[in-house]
Structure 1
């Protein structure tokens, strides 16, 4: 899973590749969770920001990013409505109500809503979710990946 996070982080990092700025942090969150972060979530992410010698924030490092993801995962797991949210999220991806999602389903969704996403990254994401490597992401695969422990 760490390679997935490294890839996502590098998509939004500054040219030096060491930091992601505040706007990049928002985009990272959107890519990981499929929605904009609320104020509390953004505050959590930015609490891991690094500052320069003048005390000005410069961004979040990869290790800070991983720490923020761990903290957010704990937060999400403690929410009472998380199972309903997971089911609704999965159902949005399950275009044909078959209780599984294929790579073609994801291509249809992403070509409409995020056409700039490289297809190689989409395949990488799909492989991370396809736990049993059967070419489909079942609801169980989806839950396993969204409730991972780092």
Structure 2
């Protein structure tokens, strides 16, 4: 929903040649450390697939930060119910206030009336790892 608005990278996009070269040079040790320690190596195409997944995850995290920042118009580092109402009024004006309130309560994990970035990030990732 927000990908087009934030300019996020589509996960289905092919890696650019410059990205491929960078990943081979910079990320090789990191990826090699994450594979089976008994393996003597990894083929380049498998390495590229792993890097594409890693890059997509990083970009998704950046997208979450951008969305949170867009909601946090007063730069307080947390969101209030009023912030939610204003944001939802812009992106989904026909949603009832009851639904917005339920969404806020669901995201406000500690029920303190403030949604921290950590709470927001958790809510955005909920169900993503299961898919």
TM range (shorter): 0.5 to 0.7
Which of 1 and 2 has greater Rg?
A: 2
Aligned partner of 2:62 among 84, 108, 132: 84
User: CA contact under 8 A between 1:93 and 1:109: conserved in structure 2?
Assistant: yes
User: CA contact under 8 A between 1:76 and 1:82: conserved in structure 2?
Assistant: no
Q: Give per-residue Cα distances to partners, 1:87-143, cap 9 Å, x unaligned.
A: 111101111000001110121222234321111111111111111111111001011
Please report the RMSD computed on the Cα atoms of aligned residues, expressed in angstroms. Answer: 2.7
Question: Which residue in the other structure is 2:71 paired with?
Answer: 93
User: CA contact under 8 A between 2:80 and 2:114: conserved in structure 1?
Assistant: yes
| Higher percent of residues as strand | 1
The answer to whether the aligner puts 1:130 opposite 2:108 as a matched pair is yes
Q: Tell me: CA distance 1:111–1:77, structure 2 relative to 1, closer, same or farther (3 Å).
A: same
Gaps of 5+ in 2: 5-9, 13-52
After TM superposition, the score normalised by the length of structure 2 is 0.52
Listed as ranges, the matches of 1:26-37 within 5 Å are 30=1, 34-35=2-3
Question: Which residue in the other structure is 1:53 paired with?
Answer: none
Question: Which residue in the other structure is 2:124 paired with?
Answer: 146
Q: Give per-residue Cα distances to partners, 1:11-51, cap 9 Å, x unaligned.
A: xxxxxxxxxxxxxxxxxxx4xxx456x7x6xxxxxxxxxxx
Gaps of 5+ in 1: 1-29, 41-74
Q: Tell me: CA distance 1:148–1:109, structure 2 relative to 1, closer, same or farther (3 Å).
A: closer
The total of aligned residue pairs comes to 83
Secondary structure, aligned partner of 1:87: helix
